[in-house]
Amino acid sequence: MKETSLCYIEKDGCYLMQHRVKKENDLNHEKWVGVGGKFEGEESPEECVLRETLEETGLTLTSYRYRAVITFISDQWEGEHMHLFTADGFTGEMLSECPEGELVWVPKDEVERLPIWEGDRLFFDYLKKDVGFFTMKLVYQGEKLVHHEERIYG
């Protein structure tokens, strides 16, 4: 299982989203996701999200919350433990170019109308309800979500 972080930065009722259109052979191609990526070396989830956010956006997080661990199982790609964060404080200037995709501030109530993963719709609902810390297991066959389990700890 690979370890990754993902962050949804919040500002003025919007999430900073990446429209993943730049990398070839990207399992997220054409999808809208937050910012983040794979752990390097012996990074903690917090170290990874801070580094990845800075690399992809130019922003330094100053206020963020560890929200969930999402386990992805797939018949087509390597399994993944994704450490999910939200952030509402940052410093710096946003980069004009991101190597992964186009960065766009998307109103929170419009996110679910975008092409996102089915499982992302489930965890966005938990973020919206501010349920506290949760875990989720999402099982995919291709791009189809075939099973999910959740547990709320907050």
CATH number where 99 lies: 3.90.79.10
Q: What is the mean pLDDT of residues 96-108?
A: 85
Give the structural domain span for 73: 2-152
Q: What is the mean pLDDT of residues 87-111?
A: 89
Q: How far apart are CA 151 and CA 28, in angstroms?
A: 25
Q: What is the pTM of this model?
A: 0.92
| pLDDT value at residue 70 | 97
Split into its structural domains, the chain has a count of 1
Percentage of residues of the chain with pLDDT beyond 90: 78
| pLDDT value at residue 92 | 94
**DSSP classification of residue 122:** H
| pLDDT value at residue 94 | 86
**Are 20 and 28 a contacting pair, CB within 8 Å?**
yes
Q: How confident is the model at residue 33 (pLDDT cuts 50, 70, 90)?
A: confident
| pLDDT value at residue 73 | 96
Residue 29 has pLDDT above 90, yes or no: no
